[in-house]
């Protein structure tokens, strides 16, 4: 996608906020635990390579990604730290991962069988983390006996397979009710007890678990949404320390006009002025990830809330202004303006989703501008 550098809509990423969030969590870990930064999905929309650098500077000792291609991008960028791919990778890509020292997630015996039978030679054994499904219902072993056999199988095929880690993922760690969380914890202990020898990494903690259930951390945490200054529970549970938002979204007014009472705005004529109004146009739309369902929400201009009127278009949207304002006036779609602010959680609440989806949804057409890099 072409990056829109010649228009005023842009994302501003604060490197100091990233470093603060990671270093705060590193300080809470015991000396035997490591923090792997989860920077999948282009660093939750913040930029994978830059976030890798900022988190490394703050104490992250490894990275977690979703797909092998993300890991290879980090290797191409010169990062030598451990990288774990959290999703399932095709067995045919095992050699590519091994040759680039990338750890892969495996969730069943058949995957291991296919790799062990491959005739190709690996430069190094493939590092494997066995996923355990304790209740997430996504990927992983559900039976502790099959899991233990898989671990033994890898030790028998150590020329190709290195049992580096084991992990599970909690479905409700960001909720006040801990019943299901405790059930998953007890199931994970069954898998731990099934092993005669534990791997290098035993990890269960995502951001929510590390924030509110630190006793479960194991010796590595997968720190994700907290990196970016967003609370994984939304508003349900308070974070033990300040999470500083790392991303702002800003633009400018490019057109300002006065419309008469009875005139309508945008597709479908869903908004009609009840009186004479000043309307401003902003060059951003759903093709940038500012979604159509945000009609009726607001932006900030000179510290004032300005309602989004009419349907959000692919590349533009309109807001009702309190008065005539000059073209070029700054617009804050996420961030601070005067005494008012809009957080990603504010946007997510209005859109009936989670803050993760909002930042991940911003497209590459929006330039990422980094501040406080040094």
Closest CA to 104 of 75, 129, 82: 129
Q: Residues 310, 170: one domain?
A: no
Q: Residues 74, 176: one domain?
A: yes
CATH number where 165 lies: 3.20.20.10
Q: How many CB atoms lie within 10 A of CB 304?
A: 15
pLDDT at residue 325, as a whole number: 98
pLDDT at residue 214, as a whole number: 83
**The length of the chain, given as a count of residues:** 374
* Structure letter (DSSP) for residue 205: B
Per DSSP, the three-state class of 262 is: coil
Q: 243 near 15, Cβ under 8 Å?
A: no
Q: How many CB atoms lie within 10 A of CB 57?
A: 14
Phi, psi for residue 155 in degrees, rounded to 5: -70, -30
Q: Residues 138, 27: one domain?
A: yes
Q: Does residue 154 fall inside a structural domain?
A: yes
Q: Residues 131, 189: one domain?
A: yes
List, by residue number, the catalytic residues.
Answer: 40, 267
Q: Of 167, 198, 228, which one is at a domain's C-terminal end?
A: 228
Q: Residues 62, 33: one domain?
A: yes
Q: Does residue 48 fall inside a structural domain?
A: yes
pLDDT at residue 326, as a whole number: 98
Q: Does residue 3 fall inside a structural domain?
A: no
Measured CA to CA, the distance from residue 262 to residue 271 in angstroms comes to 9
Q: Does residue 6 fall inside a structural domain?
A: no
Q: Residues 137, 167: one domain?
A: yes
What is the helix (H) or strand (E) element at residue 264, kind and residue range?
strand 264-265
Q: Does residue 49 fall inside a structural domain?
A: yes
Q: Does residue 241 fall inside a structural domain?
A: no
What is the helix (H) or strand (E) element at residue 126, kind and residue range?
strand 126-132
pLDDT at residue 31, as a whole number: 87
Q: Residues 317, 279: one domain?
A: yes
Q: Residues 136, 78: one domain?
A: yes
pLDDT at residue 25, as a whole number: 97
Q: Residues 255, 306: one domain?
A: yes
CATH number where 296 lies: 2.40.37.10
Q: Does residue 204 fall inside a structural domain?
A: yes
Tokens read off for 239: 């974070």
Measured CA to CA, the distance from residue 354 to residue 342 in angstroms comes to 14
User: In sequence order, what E strands does 266-374 have?
Assistant: 271-272, 277-282, 298-301, 304-309, 317-321, 330-337, 340-342, 368-371
CA atoms within 13 A on the CB side of 16: 3
The predicted-structure confidence for 96-136, as pLDDT tens digits, reads as follows 999 999 999 999 999 999 999 999 889 899 999 999 999 99
Measured CA to CA, the distance from residue 193 to residue 109 in angstroms comes to 19
Q: Does residue 148 fall inside a structural domain?
A: yes
The predicted-structure confidence for 152-172, as pLDDT tens digits, reads as follows 999 999 999 999 999 999 999
Binding residues for substrate: 138, 314
**Helical segments of the chain, H only:** 15-28, 40-44, 48-58, 68-76, 94-99, 109-116, 144-156, 179-193, 207-212, 344-351, 355-361
Q: Residues 21, 140: one domain?
A: yes
* Structure letter (DSSP) for residue 125: P
pLDDT at residue 112, as a whole number: 98
Q: 17 near 43, Cβ under 8 Å?
A: no
Radius of gyration of the chain (CA): 24
pLDDT at residue 374, as a whole number: 84
* Domain assignment of residue 284, given as a range: 247-342
Phi, psi for residue 52 in degrees, rounded to 5: -60, -45
Residues in the chain where the model's pLDDT stays below 50: none
Q: Residues 134, 63: one domain?
A: yes
Q: Residues 209, 268: one domain?
A: no
Measured CA to CA, the distance from residue 228 to residue 345 in angstroms comes to 12
Looking at the structure of the chain, the number of domains it has is 2
């Amino acid at each position: 996608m072409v990056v829109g550098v010649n228009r005023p809509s842009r994302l501003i990423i604060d490197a100091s906020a990233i470093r603060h969030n990671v270093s705060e969590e590193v300080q809470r870990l015991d000396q035997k635990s490591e923090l792997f930064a989860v920077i999948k999905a282009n660093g939750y929309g913040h930029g994978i390579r830059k976030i890798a650098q900022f988190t490394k500077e703050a104490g992250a000792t490894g990275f977690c990604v979703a797909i092998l291609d993300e890991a290879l991008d980090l290797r191409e960028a010169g990062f030598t730290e451990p990288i774990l791919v959290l999703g399932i990778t095709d067995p045919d890509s095992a050699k590519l991962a091994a040759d680039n020292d990338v750890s892969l997630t495996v969730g069943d015996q058949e995957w291991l069988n296919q790799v062990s039978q491959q005739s190709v030679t690996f430069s190094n054994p493939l590092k494997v983390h066995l996923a355990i499904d304790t209740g997430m219902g996504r990927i992983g072993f559900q039976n502790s006996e099959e899991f233990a056999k898989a671990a033994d199988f890898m030790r028998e095929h150590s020329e190709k397979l290195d049992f580096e880690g084991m992990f599970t993922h909690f479905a409700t760690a960001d909720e006040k009710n801990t019943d299901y969380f405790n059930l998953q914890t007890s199931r994970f202990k069954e898998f731990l007890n099934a092993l005669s020898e534990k791997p290098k990494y035993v990890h269960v903690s995502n951001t929510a678990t590390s924030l509110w259930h630190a006793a479960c951390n194991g010796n590595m945490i997968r720190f994700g949404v907290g990196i970016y200054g967003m609370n994984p529970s939304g508003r349900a549970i308070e974070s033990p320390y300040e999470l500083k938002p790392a991303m702002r979204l800003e633009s400018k007014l490019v057109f300002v006009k006065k419309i008469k009472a009875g005139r309508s705005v945008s597709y479908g004529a869903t908004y009609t002025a009840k009186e004479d109004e000043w309307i401003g146009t902003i060059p951003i739309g759903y093709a940038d990830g500012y979604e159509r369902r945000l009609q009726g929400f607001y932006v900030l201009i000179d510290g004032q809330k300005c309602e989004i009127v009419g349907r959000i278009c692919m590349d533009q949207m309109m807001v009702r202004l309190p008065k005539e304002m000059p073209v070029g006036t700054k617009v804050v779609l996420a961030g601070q303006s005067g005494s008012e602010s809009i957080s990603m959680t504010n946007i997510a609440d209005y859109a009936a989703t989670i803050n993760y989806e909002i930042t991940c949804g911003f497209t590459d057409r929006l330039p990422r501008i980094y501040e406080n890099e040094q």
